[in-house]
Amino acid sequence: MKTLLMIKPDIVERGAYPEIIALLLRNRFAIRRMAMVAFDRATAERFYDVHRGKDFFPSLIDYMTGGPVVALELEGAAVVEDIRAFIGPTDPARAKPGTLRFMYGTSIQCNAVHASDSPEAAKKEIAIAFGDL
Ligand code: CMP
């Protein structure tokens, strides 16, 4: 099973992404591919298609196109669930110590990382992030 973890622009900007990569490795997540990618608006909108029409959508697209992200393809038996447990809930204020969003998130929008919520979403998101045809 594969999934996508994406480190968001503000974390990349402040140089904290190597710490997150080190934490992933120390927790034995297997990284198969990794890339620094600058999303254009059309690509970010396609990536977050399920949120189109929600009040936070325009601001989310501004944020996600404000600088490059780091995309990581992870592989493991239950990696979709395991990485979501490791990042914590969407709102960093509700995240538990030890989770990435607790450590690096600063608001519900600037929540440090994104992880696919299902194997189907992972397939689509990996293809978009890595520009697979
Ligand atoms: P992510 O897991 O990447 O999925 C959608 C993103 O929209 C979310 O993390 C946040 O960055 C952003 N967002 C902003 N406001 C909200 C909100 N009220 N609920 C959910 N997601 C939000």
Mean pLDDT of 56-74: 98
The pLDDT assigned to 117 comes to 98
Let me know if 114 is a catalytic residue: yes
> What is the count of structural domains for the chain?
1
Q: Tell me how crowded residue 9 is: count the other CB atoms within 10 A of its CB.
A: 19
Q: Tell me how crowded residue 67 is: count the other CB atoms within 10 A of its CB.
A: 15
The pLDDT assigned to 17 comes to 98
Q: What is the pLDDT of residues 4-55, one digit of tens each?
A: 999 999 999 999 999 999 999 999 999 999 999 999 999 999 999 999 999 9
Q: What is the pLDDT of residues 75-132, one digit of tens each?
A: 999 999 999 999 999 999 999 999 999 999 999 999 999 999 999 999 999 999 999 9
Answer whether residue 133 shows pLDDT above 80. Answer: no
The pTM of the full predicted model, rounded to 2 decimals, is: 0.98
Domain span holding position 111: 2-129
Out of 111, 118, 124, mutate this one to test ligand 1's pocket (max ligand atoms within 8 Å of CB): namely 111
Out of 108, 125, 128, mutate this one to test ligand 1's pocket (max ligand atoms within 8 Å of CB): namely 108
Ligand 1 mean position, distance from CA 45 (Å): 13
Report d(CA 6, CA 34) in Å as an integer.
10
Ligand 1 pocket by C-beta < 6 Å: which residues? 51, 56, 60, 90, 108-109, 111, 114
Q: Are strands 2-7 and 69-75 parallel, antiparallel or unpaired?
A: antiparallel
Instruction: Strand 113-115: give its sheet, edge to edge.
Output: 30-37, 69-75, 2-7, 113-115
CATH number of domain containing 97: 3.30.70.141
Report d(CA 36, CA 29) in Å as an integer.
19
